[in-house]
Structure 1
Amino acid sequence: MRSTLRAYIIITCGSFIQGMAMALFLFPHAIPSGGAGGIAVLLNYWFNIPLSFALWLVNFTLLASAIKWLGNASTIGTMYTITITSISVHIFSMDIFSHHANVWVDLIIGSIVLGIGVGILLRQQVSNGGMGVIALIFAKFRNIPPGKPLLLLNGFIFILTASIIAWEIVVQALISQWISTRILDIVYNLKLTIYRAPTLSWRKK
């Protein structure tokens, strides 16, 4: 019980950091943090749906479509992650946290913070949701690594978002992905005594 509680505390921190990066630094410039983030940005742009709820809705829909393949433990962990992330996005989207920094400054800072948050989640063997869930389904049926379908899915969403809002978003999103994944790898491979729950068989994104 104590080990599970500690794992959820760490997951909460990672989810909160991930949401902060999105709401404070990336979403204000319509920079998608990934495929799910791109769809959330579009829903906000088209229907004025709050970004926090849009992100939760997209992730919940993707997760619901993959429950059969993820299993109960992974589904619960991922659902908790996307819920805390959405709450964090809502909190940091409040006017009190608004700022007007240069888009490239925000992109760099936001990508670093995002990488830290996702890295913490992956150390706990928890998926942070997004298009990675769908990529795992493609990989299962086509018997291929999930990297290629994930790249194609996110790439399509980036291009769609850019074609509707602004084309420079493609470049910004790709740079953000590159920076965040580099930071993610550093955090994931850190030789620290960060707790990793051995009894929870959650799957990586």
Structure 2
Amino acid sequence: MKYLTHHYFLITCGSFIQGMAMSLFLFPHSIPSGGAAGIAVLLNYWFGIPLSFALWFVNFSLLVLAIYWLGNSSAIGTMYAITITSISVHLFSMDLFVHYSNIWLDLFIGSVTLGIGVGILLRQKVSNGGMGVLALIIAVHRNSSPGKPLLLLNGLIFILTGSIIHWPIVFQAILLQFGSTKIVDIVYNLKLIPKIPKITPPVVWRKK
């Protein structure tokens, strides 16, 4: 029970940080945070499928893969993470929070913040949704960091989307993925300080 509470506390923190990065630093400049959104845009462009349904369809399909390859607990954790991320995006979209206008500063801060949030989630063997599911499957089965496959998958989708629809925002999205996945690997491989064992004072025998 204690492990489960700690597990979901970290998922909540990672999801909250991820949503904050999206809402405060990326979405004000229309910079997509992942490849699932890119696929949804292509489905809308090619087949006229509404973006909301296309995004749901892509994430649902990837969640099926998560259940098959990673197990029910990872899929449930991913659904929980997606929900908390959506709540966080909604909260930080309020007028109470300041949205800066410098796109390059926001891109840098957003990359670092998003990488921290996603890295925390992947450390818990939970995906942040979208291509994070495939990256986590690759990382788990190859016993490697998920940053490189995540960058490759998202980068390929962004390049495809940009070549078909519009380049400038996609170029910024690729820079975002490059920076954030570097942070993902740092957080994922972070060696936490081990607990210091309790030291029992030695028993001193006095000669009588």
TM over 0.5: yes
Larger relative contact order (CA 8 Å, sep ≥ 6) = 1
Please tell me the residue identity of whatever aligns with 2:86.
S
Instruction: Give the whole-Å Cα distance in 2 for the aligned partners of 1:118 and 1:38.
Output: 18
Does 2:159 correspond to 1:159? yes
For residue 96 of structure 1, give the secondary structure of its aligned residue in structure 2: coil
Find the counterpart in structure 2 of residue 190 from structure 1. 190
Instruction: Give the whole-Å Cα distance in 1 for the aligned partners of 2:77 and 2:58.
Output: 16
Instruction: Give the whole-Å Cα distance in 1 for the aligned partners of 2:35 and 2:51.
Output: 17
Instruction: Give the whole-Å Cα distance in 1 for the aligned partners of 2:76 and 2:135.
Output: 19
Does 2:80 correspond to 1:72? no
Q: Give the TM-score, by structure 2 length.
A: 0.71
Find the counterpart in structure 1 of residue 84 from structure 2. 84
The alpha-carbon distance between structure 1 residues 39 and 89, as it changes in their structure 2 partners (threshold 3 A), is farther
| Identical-residue share of aligned pairs (%) | 71
Task: Report if aligned partners of 1:38, 1:158 keep a CA contact under 8 Å in 2.
Answer: yes
Report the RMSD for the aligned CA atoms in angstroms: 3.7
| Structure 2 unaligned residues grouped into runs of 5+ | 196-208
The alpha-carbon distance between structure 1 residues 138 and 4, as it changes in their structure 2 partners (threshold 3 A), is closer
For residue 32 of structure 1, give the secondary structure of its aligned residue in structure 2: coil
Please tell me the residue identity of whatever aligns with 1:22.
M
Per the TM alignment, residue 113 of structure 1 is displaced from its structure 2 partner at its CA by 0.3
Alignment of 1:62-141 (within 5 A): 62-64=62-64, 66-134=66-134
| Structure 1 unaligned residues grouped into runs of 5+ | 196-205
Instruction: Give the whole-Å Cα distance in 2 for the aligned partners of 1:194 and 1:84.
Output: 29
Q: How many residues align?
A: 190
Task: Report if aligned partners of 1:25, 1:106 keep a CA contact under 8 Å in 2.
Answer: yes
Instruction: Give the whole-Å Cα distance in 2 for the aligned partners of 1:174 and 1:21.
Output: 16
Task: Report if aligned partners of 1:132, 1:150 keep a CA contact under 8 Å in 2.
Answer: yes
Per the TM alignment, residue 86 of structure 1 is displaced from its structure 2 partner at its CA by 1.5
Q: Deviations over 1:149-202 (max 9, x none)?
A: 75564234313554577411222112111111121222223332499xxxxxxx
